[in-house]
Chain A
Amino acid sequence: MSPRIEAEGLGVRFTFDRQKRPVTPAMARIRRHCSSAWGLRDLNFRVGASESVALVGPNGAGKTTLLRAIAGVFAADEGRISVSGRVGSLLAIEGGLMPALTGRENALLLGVLAGMSRRESRAGLEGIKRRSGLGQSFDRPVSGYSQGMRARLGFSAIEHSRPSVLLLDEVHEALDHEFREHVETTARSIVEDGGIVIAAGHDQAVLERLCRRAFLMKDGTIASDAAYGDVTEHYLASAP
């Protein structure tokens, strides 16, 4: 079965208490004076095999929320979203890394959480060490890593889980030139092999190289869904 992502009337809502702290719906029932806001509302789209989509739009438009909904990190509060394919997500520089653990320990944990057995995950550790280029730092706690090193580790761990749906949120912007090329090559090979890449960020040059299609996100909705060049032209023209 080919990888695909389908959303029908997708909505993701956030609930806040009186002090504007996010709360779960169960807590909202107990606490009084709660308010809510939709992070995404009424999203309908379909992304199929060999597609690469850029999410563009201003901060707070819903790009990260949509990536997290696709990754299964946020639950749909309205409508539905379905994803087929093994998802690999790097949605923050710290993406899935525990600072107290070493690079090796983090990579082992991420592999198992991504769906591999412990044996498979352990077998890939030397490959992750090599691809990440972390050298001796691979066996040191992540708390001492720079942002670039964390992104390298996170991406290399994802790579090992052989995702057919790759989700990237601005993290490639923290990478040096050499590893950024590696990320782009990997992303392109996923698309060439029939996978899907969804990337968000503000580095238009990188997104243009990676993606042929784009969603212009605005106030939690998809304002435009078209070829990358058309969407960015519209977005940049409308930007203040």
Chain B
Amino acid sequence: MAGSNVPEPYAPSASPEGRLSPRRVRDLLAALSQSDLRARYGRGPWRLLKWLVDPFALVGIYLLLVTIVRPRGGPAPGLSLACAVIPFQLVMMAVVNALDAVKLRRSIIANMAFPRIFLPLASALTETLAFAASLLLIAAMMVVYGVPPTLDTLWLPLVVAVNVAVAAAAAYPATLVGLWLPDLRPFAVSLVRAMFFLAPGLVALEQITGQANSLVRINPLTGLFEAYRDVLLYGRPPAAWELLWPLGFAALLLAVFLPIYRIEQRQFAKVLE
């Protein structure tokens, strides 16, 4: 019954993630994301339907705003909106998911040791799957507005990778906020939502004039939204700053919060008591 391959001694209080092979990391992330997906979104065809309908509903509301209520749509307003709303939803949902990441797995955290460093990353990966389904909306919008894909559409995987990096990096502070200040959860969600409106989400950057044009570029979401528009709407490669600025922001978040998370994850079980 006892294990034939007894591992080397370890200090249970130490972080066990330091010795993990890439294969083990892959298995852990897949298992955590899969369980997360089922716990949050259920099973079966309704899940896929929800993922498909959600972005249409979101974009539809904003589309009414920019084409009827306050016409500032610019070219292909639906596609331009989708290029902002869909990447934003990935960041937003990764943060929302991460806020509850520890609470959702409290029974596991209180029962056994495992590399808890991957919890926020798994939250972001779960939402990346939902995001993948949402990309269909962009394809639909391109068809509706008659915008053909160009060679520069091949930049899309890189833009998506930057998007996922921003979402994953934001998930670490979100997990800590969910643990430290659970009462401020709605405020944290509102803060992230505010970032959408402080970026060229409803209208493209080229339609924002004056000093505001320079100011909104500080928001890392601006580069992300414009990068999607460049490769999918304007048919040109993304400008370097559009990718490097959000990537730098993600690196900064990780540099600040990953070390804090590493220390704090040792205490998760105590807080869940």
Interface residues of A (CB under 8 A from B): 1-4, 14-15, 22-27, 68-76, 80-87, 89-92, 94-98, 100-101, 105-106, 108-110, 112-115, 117-118, 121, 159, 162-164, 186, 189-190, 193-195
User: Smallest CB–CB gap between B129 and chain A, Å?
Assistant: 16
Chain B residue at minimum C-beta to C-beta distance from A116? B27
B57 partner residues in chain A, CB cutoff 8 A: none
Given A71-B112, A95-B111: A162 in contact with B2 (beta carbons within 8 A):
yes
Q: Could you say which of A23, A68, A95 contacts B107, with CB atoms under 8 Å apart?
A: A95
Given A71-B111, A72-B16, A113-B114: A98 in contact with B7 (beta carbons within 8 A):
no
A74→B13 contact, CB < 8 A: yes
Chain B's interface size range is 35 or more
B264→A24 contact, CB < 8 A: yes
Beyond contacts A25-B267, A105-B38: 14 other A-B pairs, Cβ-Cβ < 8 A, are: A15-B270, A72-B10, A75-B266, A76-B11, A81-B11, A81-B12, A82-B11, A84-B6, A85-B3, A98-B104, A101-B39, A117-B27, A159-B1, A163-B2
Most-contacted residue by chain B among A23, A159, A186 (CB, 10 A): A23
Chain A residue at minimum C-beta to C-beta distance from B263? A26
Q: Could you say which of A96, A164, A190 contacts B108, with CB atoms under 8 Å apart?
A: A96
Interface residues of B, dominant DSSP? helix
A96→B3 contact, CB < 8 A: no
Identify 14 residue pairs between A and B in the complex whose beta-carbon atoms are under 8 Å apart, listed by A's number: A3-B2, A27-B180, A69-B13, A73-B109, A73-B111, A73-B113, A81-B12, A81-B13, A85-B3, A105-B35, A110-B112, A112-B27, A162-B4, A193-B2
Q: Could you say which of A71, A113, A118 contacts B12, with CB atoms under 8 Å apart?
A: A71
Q: How many A-B residue pairs have CB under 8 A?
A: 167
A84→B9 contact, CB < 8 A: yes
B7 partner residues in chain A, CB cutoff 8 A: 84-86, 115
A101-B227 Cα distance, complex, nearest whole Å: 38
A27 partner residues in chain B, CB cutoff 8 A: 180
B111→A96 contact, CB < 8 A: yes
A84→B30 contact, CB < 8 A: no
